[in-house]
C-alpha cells in the first residue's frame, strides 16, 4: 500500500481517500489473518488424523508420501 500522507496537507477529497485506503488495508489484514488461522487449524486436523492412523498401525511408512501423491492427482 502507498505511504500515508498527513491529512492536513491534503485536499478534502484526498483526506477521504486516505481514510478509505486505511480501511481497505485493515480489512485486507483481517482477511489474511482469518485465512492463516483456518489453514493452521486444517494442518492440525490433518496432523491429528495422520498421527492417529500411524499410532493405530493403520498406516505405515510412506503413508505421507502416498497421501501427497493422492492429493496432487
* pLDDT score, position 7: 59
Q: Is 23 inside any structural domain?
A: yes
Q: Return left, alpha or beta for 57; rule: phi > 0 is left, psi -120 to 50 is alpha, else beta.
A: left
Name residue, grid cell 492440525.
44
Number of domains in the chain: 1
Domain hosting residue 28, numbered range: 10-72
| pLDDT single digits (tens) 23-59 | 999 999 999 999 999 999 999 999 999 999 988 888 8
Q: Is 33 inside any structural domain?
A: yes
**59 CB contacts (<8 Å, ≥6 apart)?**
50, 53
Q: How far is CA 20 from CA 3, 4, 14, 40, in A?
A: 13, 11, 10, 30
Q: Is 45 inside any structural domain?
A: yes
Amino acid at each position: 500500500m502507498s505511504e500515508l500522507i498527513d491529512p492536513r496537507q491534503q485536499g478534502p477529497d484526498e483526506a477521504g481517500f486516505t481514510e478509505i485506503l486505511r480501511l481497505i488495508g485493515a480489512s485486507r489484514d483481517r482477511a489474511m489473518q482469518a485465512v492463516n488461522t483456518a489453514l493452521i487449524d486444517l494442518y492440525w486436523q490433518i496432523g491429528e488424523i495422520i498421527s492417529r492412523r500411524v499410532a493405530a498401525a493403520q498406516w505405515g511408512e510412506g503413508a505421507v508420501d502416498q497421501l501427497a501423491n493422492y492429493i496432487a492427482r
